[in-house]
Chain A
Amino acid sequence: MAKVRGTGMAAVNYPTGMNLGGDPSQALIHATTSGSFNVVLAATDLGQGLRTVMAQIAAETLGVPYEQIVIQTADTDTGPHDMGTFASRATHRVGNAVKVAAIEARDAVLQLASEELEASVSDLELDGEGNVRVVGSPDKSLAIADLASRAQFQYGRTIAGRGVWMKPKSEVDPETGAMDPDSTQAYACTVAEVEVDTETGIVTVLSIRSAYEVGRQVNPKLVQGQIVGGAWMAVSHALYETTEPYYPSRDHRPKDFGDYLMPGPADMPAVESVVLEVPSANGPYGVKGVGEMTANSPIPALVNAIHDAIGVRIDTLPVTPEAILRALDAKQAEAAADAPAPAEEASA
């Protein structure tokens, strides 16, 4: 009876987006006469920070401060069509649609500015703080807020943009499975350390350390939210949760949080990570997407670490204390038998 430690790793990739009847999203942007910009979407923020990320993309493209962006979502009477928030698609597709719309709105700003400043559009730049100026002549500058007001009241012109981004549906060849199911893929590599109590079967997760490659982080702190929350959910999948503890038997199904087990705050180790950015070819500012992948790579890393600790492979999830103890018993029984073959395969 001992506490034994082990280390395990796993490396995975995760695709961005869906291949279900086409995967489009739209966005609409218009300037108010006070120079802020309304971005109208039907996309859904699940709490991961979609409203923030879209505002950042819009602000970046329009060259205005983040605080000048208002995100409105989700109302089908005003927001144009969007497939939904899932498949790690939102930052990529909705972000692309927002960027396209913002480019059209920005071009309207630049066009008006070029007329007022009597300079060609190619000689203008955005200062990122809400002003348009002639390159090399900082005194020849106009505030976008003022341009927006004059557009409405003096020129009768709109400062607005429409954006759509679609990944077309790709048919799947019924014989070969040939298909184009995603726009890009992100990568993760996790190393996990565990300590297994061979008397109780309880696994303590000592550390989860990962590298993630996500194309581009729009908001690093929000990416951290996905990394830590995802690691927690992975620990839960690997060691705790199930709707059918004796699957495929339907007995003892949990009905509330009291019997649907998930790790609590004291059950989690520090989650360390490093994030790489290798911009994708087709995401807004090189974005790939991260929301689902972070819950995947720690699962096999943990199970590989358990094997490193106790010398038994467990191929059934979740790896509960019962599963550990049964695996250890099976290993002991095999070792006790006369057969000289290495006893290292066991299914819970």
Chain B
Amino acid sequence: MTADLNIVGKSVARNDGTGFVTGRTQYTADLAFPGMLHLKVVRSPVHHARILGVDLSAAREVKGFVRALTHEDVPHNVYTILGLIGVEPEEEFVLAVDRVRYMGEPIVAILAETEAAANEAVAAVRLDLEELPAVFDMEEALAEGAPVVTHWGNNTFIYEGDTKRKVRLGDVEQGFAEADHVIEHTYRTSPIEHAPTETTGCIAVPEANGRYTVYTNTQAIYFSLDNTAIILQVPNNQLRFIGGTVGGGFGGKVDVIVEPLATLGAMLTGRPVRYVYTRTEEMQVSSTRSAEIITIKDGIMADGRIHARKVTALVDCGAYSRQTPYAITKLAANAAGPYRIPNVWIDAYCVYTNRTPTSAMRGFGVTWVTFAHEIQMDRIAELVGLDPWTVRFLNAHRNGDTKPHRKIVADATLIETMQAAAELVGHELPAEQRAMTSAPRDAEGGR
């Protein structure tokens, strides 16, 4: 088929390369507009607190101060980005009302003539906070008596009335009983920051025709526009979002964090408003990849086949869940790995703690379970005395197999990909592994 293609399959030069190599390409923060104001945010200095008062009087005296935005200024002060597609509950605010749940949570936005004036005014805002106990450990957050992070009273996201996303195939307990070996191991990972070299940012500009143009480095321009319109309670077509040049995303620029406040500022002042994250904000306030605790319990047959697999995943979504409930569904679909396993039980929890909210990052929902199941595969190999390649060939899924979430495997090439890797590194595979393919198993389920 490749022979029939003219351009697809060719390493043609990028059509946008000249702009990048000459530095002429404009990124969001390179733009400037006459009369542009700078937006900086007053953020919670503590992990968990009741807000008793916010005193803006000293901030208002700062030379260059123009305006403060509080939660009262935000028409629909709910920031829940999956709300667009009906994922409940509404749990996060654009600007905090009476409580903050993570260090860095936005409380007040300051608009000023210069960045320096905005920073000075932010520093002059007095917060009266009553600190509350905070919880950072997921297992602690799930236990009785833990500080409660959410407003509905327990520290898990609810999936259709249950505290976890479930996958159930076959009967794992029966599978463990039938297995020759049962092993269980727990894998732990850390939060990761996207750290793009360009920080998150936007500039909202009032247009002469009463509309607002928002220049943004979001990865998802309509997602950002639609959410902003809901928060500001304006018709979608009053907004125009322009972007398409992003200095690295990796999933960190899909949270629609800066556009609503900047646009609100532009609406209330009639002037362009720039809201660009500093590097410290990008590092400590912008969402991260979730940390996870993944426990895999396997029932293994003597020949190395995985007969039953139970995965329990705790995903630390931080103070607000953002996109993480979706990550957990994706995790549940991939946690058992590309293997044919007749009995699978997956419980995946979205656990709230008082840390920076988490959201999408490259490999969303899959990166960490991939790590866990591939270390586990090597443990299985060692347990039954097989080499790591053999245990994977033995268990690899093929077209026609049933995945744990009951989708039928199609477009499978795990076997062929491993064969190619073995050849690349000069690892000699035994004849039967070289002869394997991803073609559907024969009627008896044999090789």
- Which residues of the other chain, A, contact B366 by a CB distance below 8 angstroms? 14-15, 292, 296
- Give the distance in Å from the alpha carbon of A20 to the alpha carbon of B327 in the complex: 10
Which of B68-76, B113-121, B243-251 is the interface stretch? B243-251
When C-beta atoms are compared, the residue in chain B nearest to A241 turns out to be B192
Residue from B16, B254, B280, B375 within 8 A of A303 (CB atoms) = B375
- Which residues of the other chain, B, contact A262 by a CB distance below 8 angstroms? 195
Contact B420 A189 (CB under 8 A): yes
Produce 1/0 per residue, A1-26, CB < 8 A to B. Answer: 00000001111111100111100000
Q: Determine if B97 is an interface residue (Cβ-Cβ < 8 Å).
A: no
Q: Determine if B392 is an interface residue (Cβ-Cβ < 8 Å).
A: yes
- Give the distance in Å from the alpha carbon of A197 to the alpha carbon of B251 in the complex: 34
Contact A60 B280 (CB under 8 A): no
Contact A253 B284 (CB under 8 A): yes
Produce 1/0 per residue, A245-271, CB < 8 A to B. Answer: 101111001111100101000000000
Closest 5 CB pairs of A and B: A84-B220, A21-B85, A177-B167, A74-B244, A300-B374
Contact B244 A44 (CB under 8 A): yes
Contact B371 A317 (CB under 8 A): yes
- Which residues of the other chain, B, contact A242 by a CB distance below 8 angstroms? 190-192
- Which residues of the other chain, B, contact A296 by a CB distance below 8 angstroms? 363, 366-367, 370-371
Output the least CB separation between A66 and chain B (Å): 5
Output the least CB separation between B379 and chain A (Å): 7
Contact B421 A210 (CB under 8 A): yes
Contact A15 B189 (CB under 8 A): no
Contact B190 A304 (CB under 8 A): no
Contact A128 B417 (CB under 8 A): no
- Give the distance in Å from the alpha carbon of A185 to the alpha carbon of B405 in the complex: 14
Contact B362 A291 (CB under 8 A): yes
Q: Determine if B186 is an interface residue (Cβ-Cβ < 8 Å).
A: yes
- Give the distance in Å from the alpha carbon of A221 to the alpha carbon of B17 in the complex: 13
- Give the distance in Å from the alpha carbon of A128 to the alpha carbon of B283 in the complex: 48
Q: Determine if B435 is an interface residue (Cβ-Cβ < 8 Å).
A: no
Contact B245 A45 (CB under 8 A): yes
Given A60-B5, A242-B192, answer yes or no on A75-B240 (Cβ-Cβ < 8 Å). yes
- Which of B137, B162, B188 has its CB near the most chain A CB atoms (within 10 A)? B188
- Which of A14, A46, A212, A291 has its CB near the most chain B CB atoms (within 10 A)? A46
Contact B245 A215 (CB under 8 A): no
Contact A315 B418 (CB under 8 A): no
When C-beta atoms are compared, the residue in chain B nearest to A245 turns out to be B190
Contact B193 A243 (CB under 8 A): yes
Produce 1/0 per residue, A300-336, CB < 8 A to B. Answer: 1101100100000101111000000000000000000
Residue from A49, A180, A288 within 8 A of B14 (CB atoms) = A49
Residue from B103, B189, B326, B418 within 8 A of A189 (CB atoms) = B418
- Which residues of the other chain, A, contact B254 by a CB distance below 8 angstroms? 84, 86
Given A46-B248, A278-B416, answer yes or no on A179-B405 (Cβ-Cβ < 8 Å). yes
Which of A28-36, A111-119, A148-156, A168-176 is the interface stretch? A168-176
28 residue pairs of the A-B complex, CB under 8 angstroms, read A11-B377, A12-B370, A12-B374, A42-B222, A45-B245, A46-B248, A59-B6, A75-B244, A76-B225, A76-B240, A79-B221, A81-B222, A82-B220, A86-B364, A177-B165, A177-B167, A178-B405, A216-B8, A233-B362, A243-B284, A254-B284, A255-B283, A273-B424, A281-B411, A288-B411, A300-B371, A315-B185, A317-B189
- Which residues of the other chain, B, contact A249 by a CB distance below 8 angstroms? 136
Q: Determine if A337 is an interface residue (Cβ-Cβ < 8 Å).
A: no
Which of B51-59, B298-306, B329-337 is the interface stretch? B329-337
Other 14 A-B pairs with CB < 8 A, given A219-B10, A253-B283: A12-B337, A45-B244, A46-B248, A69-B15, A76-B221, A172-B329, A211-B417, A218-B8, A222-B14, A257-B195, A286-B1, A296-B370, A304-B374, A304-B378
